[in-house]
Amino acid sequence: MNSPLKVVVLGASPNTPSTSVTLGDYAVAALRRRYDVDVTRVDVYHLGPGLTSAVTRADADDATEKAFEAVEDSDLLIVSVPTYRGSYPGMFKHFMDIVRQRPFDRKPVLLMATGGSPRHMLMIDHVLRPLFVFLHAYTAPTAVFATSADFDGDRVLDPEIPQRIDRALDDLAPLLPARKDVAAESAATDGEAAKEPAATGPVEAVTSGHHCCHGSGSCSCHS
């Protein structure tokens, strides 16, 4: 059996609730419909002084080091950040200045951002994408941008946004390691169920891990 796809959602929002976090949640939900995934969330603001006081990698505390390692070891990186003064937040840049460059070589990356108005939409292609091109990552040609008006709490109102997420995942699919395709497996199982009597034995439920990296400890929270 293949191991789950290691996915990291890298965020940089100081706010709770956060539209960029919600956007990342939608991407994770779309992934779960396709693959067996193990998701780790890293929000650079939650790392606190462990990140802000680090000048080099050696200065990082244990929680920040685990966050760096999670990003570097991921099979797929989802970046979902707010737009601040026409760019990504400085805390995000500081994190990316310290993380090792070599692990990003050919890493699949989905780029997403939020902003106060559509005028910030080009931030992704003018600022965020060049950063990952420099790191030699493979970014999905389809990026996802949403404004504050596209959200109602933790709901996305614009139906085109989930469609763009699916299109971006289609872009990246050929680059992802071979993993169980949940949708295809479900369809095959449904087809077999229509031909055979229902099983009478117990059914074992399998769930994917969900971890969080934050300043108070290691990447260890699960849901």
Q: Range of 58's domain?
A: 5-190
pLDDT value at residue 26: 97
Count up the domains in the chain and report the number.
1
CA 145 to chain centre: 14
Per the model's pLDDT, the better-predicted residue between 179 and 168 turns out to be: 168
Tell me if 218 is assigned to some domain: no
Q: What is the bridge-based pairing of β-strands 151-152 and 108-115?
A: unpaired
Tell me if 222 is assigned to some domain: no
Which tens digit of pLDDT belongs to each residue from 56-93?
Answer: 999 999 999 999 999 999 999 999 999 999 999 999 99
pTM given for the model: 0.81
Tell me if 60 is assigned to some domain: yes
Residues 6 or more apart from 196 whose CB is under 8 A from it? none
Tell me if 205 is assigned to some domain: no
pLDDT value at residue 2: 77
Q: Which range is least confidently modeled, 43-57, 127-141, 148-162, 204-218?
A: 204-218
CATH code, 92:
3.40.50.360
Rounded CA separation 210/40 (Å): 6
Tell me if 215 is assigned to some domain: no
CA distances from 66 to 12, 45, 59, 128, 194 (A): 16, 15, 13, 23, 46
Which tens digit of pLDDT belongs to each residue from 12-38?
Answer: 999 888 999 999 999 999 999 999 999
Tell me if 195 is assigned to some domain: no
